[in-house]
Structure 1
Amino acid sequence: MIDRADPTPLYKQIAEVIRQRVRSGQWPRHYKLKAEDKLAAEFGVSRGTLRQALQSLVEEGLLTQVQGRGTFVSAPSGDLPLAQRLVTMYEILAASGRDFVTEVLEQKIVRGPDKIRTLLDLPEDEQLFYIHRRRLVEGEPLVVMENYVRITLCPELAKVDFTSVPLFNAIENRCGLEIGWGQRAFAATTAGTKAELLRTEASEPVLYLEQVSYLANGEPFEYSDVWVRGGKLRITTVLSRATPNQMRELKPGRSKRKAPAPD
């Protein structure tokens, strides 16, 4: 169940075991998990490690914690916590238990647009791995994605079957890179040229996401454009009140700090 010889952090191993139990139906929707002390004993870890695993799954949307009642398997919904952490669409959909497939429309090595090269701080002679995908949930198109990754950091990407392997999973596990944090911007727009892929009208509203992702050492490595079909989901976030110091960071003329996202 838990392999202490595995370099993967224990809380991540526990989280994956719980995901598998939910996906398999062993823990159905609304199932109440054991008390923390009993579950920690089952996994052979401290309560702190268990809580870290549970919290990561709460933030994914797989689990729900109710004060005074316990932790439950969430009912699937159209809410995605994409504004809370650097979590991918694949990870959220997999955790939700919904049926989905990934189609690879195109992948190749490209120079890339100048804007993207600037954002990724590329040398003149460096190329990018480009992949264009569509994800369907229960047979209906939900999202279209275009990603650009620095191929010199991860040459193995060109050999991966991305119909079954998530992009960030390949970057972390096949290339040995540690993903740290990202900047993600949201905008309301129309489907435009992505209408046919999303099976909607060009004038219909979609949610557009633009993202730059960074390694743990602060080096930019990936840029993505994402179009999410309108009316299929909501983006949710949990907010805490800004401190006085944080408010000062928002004043005109002050640059916003880039804080690393939690792992």
Structure 2
Amino acid sequence: MIDKNSPIPVYYQLKEDIKRKISQGVWKVGQCIDSERELSESYGVSRMTIRQALGELVQEGILIREKGKGTFVCEPKVKQKDMMSFSNIIKKLGGKLETKVLALEIIDTPEDMHDVFSFDKLYRIDRMRIVDGETIANEIVYIPCDYCGYIDEKLLEGSLFEILEGFGYKIDYSQSSIKAIIMDDYYKKLFNVDRDVPLINIYSKTITNNGKILFVEESTYRSDKYLLEVDISTREGKFR
């Protein structure tokens, strides 16, 4: 299983073999995998190598360590690391996505959005995103009516990005703020759960290639099911 003469690092070979065993069901979701000592003996490598491989798998959200108990297989999460619609993320992962539109209405532009949109009327779109039968996210989107052609609830069961691209917009990037929120009775009902689950709230402005704020979105995700990866880098001249 491990080729110590290979140019591929031993820890990486080990990591990939553990991932293979998980995918094949040798270790199932929620199950404790072998201890570092047991893995060291079965693979014939040092515990330091085992620790490095397991550490990377924990960082990738595949395993989780519980102090005093062991290392367990995590439930797979929807992972987003770039500018991609939720629909396309799920399609790429091979999951089954259902979108339930809770509301599609035209509202007066809220006072706190006057500095974002110079229009009197906005569409307010409220949708639930359900993956493989489990409710993962609630999305509330605000977009000027003037930016859209005809939209209805049926269209909104698909990708909003694709709808807007059909209207001629090219989405470039988004500006987001992220915070944790506390599960309460409202969210238990919204997400159809009877226990406390961790939630994250993301407030974002999505911007076109010509600098126009296309829509504002406030999304709430189950963070035990959804992982947002953010790359932060410095650009020349921005930080001194």
TM-score, normalised with respect to structure 2: 0.61
Among candidates 216, 219, 222, match of residue 223 of structure 1: 216
Partner of 2:79: 80
**RMSD of the TM alignment (CA)?**
2.6
Superposed CA deviations along residues 67-123 of structure 1, whole A, max 9, x for unmatched, are xxxxxxxxx941512xx43222222111110112110111011114222332x2324
CA distance change for structure 1 residues 202 and 223 in 2, over 3 Å: closer, same or farther?
farther
Identical counterparts, % of pairs: 19
1:180 aligns with 2:172: yes
Partner of 1:116: 113
Counterparts of 1:3-18 in structure 2, within 5 Å, are: none
Report the Cα distance in structure 2 between the residues aligned to 1:178 and 1:244, rounded to whole angstroms.
26
CA distance change for structure 1 residues 243 and 179 in 2, over 3 Å: closer, same or farther?
closer
In the alignment, structure 1 segments of 5+ residues that lack a partner are: 1-28, 30-75, 249-263
1:198 aligned partner, one-letter code:
F
In the alignment, structure 2 segments of 5+ residues that lack a partner are: 1-22, 24-74
1:234 aligns with 2:227: yes
Among candidates 133, 144, 149, match of residue 150 of structure 1: 144
Among candidates 96, 100, 115, match of residue 97 of structure 2: 100
Partner of 2:238: 246
Among candidates 179, 183, 194, match of residue 187 of structure 2: 194
1:80 aligned partner, one-letter code:
K
Question: Which structure 1 residue ranges, 4+ long, deviate > 4 Å from structure 2?
Answer: 201-204
Report if aligned partners of 1:135, 1:144 keep a CA contact under 8 Å in 2. yes
Shift of 1:137: 1.1
Shift of 1:188: 0.8
TM-score, normalised with respect to structure 1: 0.56
CA distance change for structure 1 residues 172 and 114 in 2, over 3 Å: closer, same or farther?
same
Report the Cα distance in structure 2 between the residues aligned to 1:160 and 1:117, rounded to whole angstroms.
29
Shift of 1:239: 4.9
Report the Cα distance in structure 1 between the residues aligned to 2:232 and 2:172, rounded to whole angstroms.
21
CA distance change for structure 1 residues 224 and 202 in 2, over 3 Å: closer, same or farther?
farther
